[in-house]
Amino acid sequence: MNLPPCATLTEPYHNFKILEIKHATANAKIAIQGAHIIDWQPSGHSPILYLSPQAHFTKNKAIRGGIPICSPWFNAHPSEPELPAHGLMRQQDWNLLRVDETTDYVDILFQIQLNPISHQWEHSLLAHLAIRLSSELEITLHTENTGHSPFTLSEALHTYLEILDIHQVSISGLQNTPYLNTVGTPTELIDEEPSLCFDQEIDRIYHSTSGVILRDPALKREIIIDKLGSNSTVIWNPWIEKSKRLTDLPDDGYQQFVCIESANAASGSIALAPQHSHTISTRIGVKPI
Ligand code: TA6
């Protein structure tokens, strides 16, 4: 496939390809495995995405950080616990279909097919991931049920956002929004505080179709996250004890990121009939404060 001048396909790790983009508006790196954006740095800004310094770059092992594509199920599979958490897409190589460069942005299109023959899953789907890189990052995941039986689609664009200090950040846009708290026994709750701050493990599936803003005074920036086709916003920080248990995350890694995920999960999951499809998209922007 011909790549434009801004794009290079490298193999920094054995059998593990990375598409590198160097463009006037932004630099980025996308692993072919998982069509996984592991770095995005708009011009004039420090990196927006967190990538664990202990992340694995080995076949069929999820990368800790960036934007993992979690699909066709979120968290554990509802009936087959032996299947990998967060679905099958982030461990598989995707097909890189095209890279198009303009003066204002770079468009990248990936495709993957899952079916019972090649994957330990009973259904079939065709998914496309479209990425538009510029001073903003737009990601669109289109999933089509190409099989003969319906399935429930749950998914997340599982974005790890880099921060300087977990104790100083806050998220607005979730006030008075019901959520499923999944730390301990799953419980439906609601938070009346104007913004969400972090002083413990947070793992919540908010029932929300709205965008949110992450305010980071230490980095003097706000990260604005909009979305479409998404019923759920997942907020996650592992805090101290879970960070210690994750071997691909430093013990103090919890201090350097927050996950804000445009998703369709839990009660927000999507019933997908044969030949039907669903599109979820998210747009990430940055503003100095
Ligand atoms: O972001 C929500 C979540 O489901 C958390 O419960 C935590 O497990 C996180 O995803 C990371 O999952 P992973 O499989 O990448 O370790």
pLDDT in tens, 264-274: 999 999 999 99
Q: Check pocket membership of 259 for ligand 1, CB cut-off 6 A.
A: yes
* Beta-sheet strand order (sheet of 202-207): 69-70, 155-162, 257-264, 232-237, 202-207, 178-181, 187-190
How far is the centre of ligand 1, averaged over its atoms, from the C-alpha of 232 (Å)?
A: 15
pLDDT at 7: 98
Rounded alpha-carbon distances, angstroms, from residue 81 to 75, 87, 158, 184, 287: 10, 11, 20, 18, 41
The stretches in the chain having pLDDT less than 50 are none
Looking at ligand 1, which atom is closest to the CA of residue 182? 6
Please tell me the distance from the alpha carbon of residue 224 to that of residue 221, in angstroms, as a whole number.
Answer: 10
Cβ contact 113:124 at 8 Å: yes
Please tell me the distance from the alpha carbon of residue 144 to that of residue 273, in angstroms, as a whole number.
Answer: 9
Cβ contact 218:165 at 8 Å: yes
| Other beta carbons within 10 Å of 130 | 18
pLDDT at 1: 81
Q: Check pocket membership of 75 for ligand 1, CB cut-off 6 A.
A: yes
pLDDT at 252: 98
Tokens, residue 191 = 């938070």
Q: Check pocket membership of 62 for ligand 1, CB cut-off 6 A.
A: yes
Q: At which residue do the structure tokens 């193999």 appear?
A: 11
pLDDT at 178: 98
Q: Check pocket membership of 131 for ligand 1, CB cut-off 6 A.
A: no
pLDDT at 117: 85
pLDDT at 118: 81
**Tens digit of pLDDT for each residue in 130-164?**
999 999 999 999 999 999 999 999 999 999 999 99
Q: Which residue puts its alpha carbon closest to atom 8 of ligand 1? A: 75
